[in-house]
Structure 1
């Protein structure tokens, strides 16, 4: 894995953690899920268990949650979160097992709020604000701790 693209992706992720829209939005299934290959297409690969994978998984979950919540609250740029997740995976270039973990974390974050919220509420907007802060701090921490 090359660390420089990882840091670039993390910086991009922290930069896009901006304000939320307020209009109602449509929901969709997480796009990261649609890209998961069939089981027969992949060989058994063990996860790397690299120390940065745990915080990367949390960042992926935050991106998934933000993708759902921003769509729910009518943000015109809500799809940006899915795109940033895809860019993060490309920059990270993880093995198949790690990629699946990151995708599963993204989808888990998406579904956690999908099962709870049907409309953009003040509580949903508070969650967006808190996740923005946590995601930005986590992206910076990963870059500082595991970058060159």
Structure 2
């Protein structure tokens, strides 16, 4: 939980200072996650297990903005491996542990749903506004899916 807060703080601080490039932010998500395939679809999962659903959704929203910008070619990586990961990813996911029922849950979002949902509105939103809105759609509404890990 401290790690995601620290990462978000670093991203915000460096973006205000202009120090972090899009490439560096994307690379951090690539380094901190892994791909897996299920039912013929490519998933990207963040490694960290969160202990609060809202923190997991914050991490997911932050990653979604970066992947969405790469998919729309607003932020372009020069690393072909990173580009392939983003292009091949159908679902973005993270997981969290619920201490109340001792269950581990996966929460995720479909990339094509993000693109469809934000359509023209995305052009009028700053990255922070988009991240906040994606978080709200994931956490409070039905843009996300969730299941219990076995």
Band the TM-score falls in, shorter-chain normalisation: 0.3 to 0.5
Identify, as 1 or 2, the structure richer in helix.
1
**TM-score (ref. length: structure 1):** 0.37
Q: Whose strand proportion is higher, 1 or 2?
A: 2
Greater RCO between the two (CA within 8 Å, min separation 6)? 1
After TM superposition, the score normalised by the length of structure 2 is 0.37
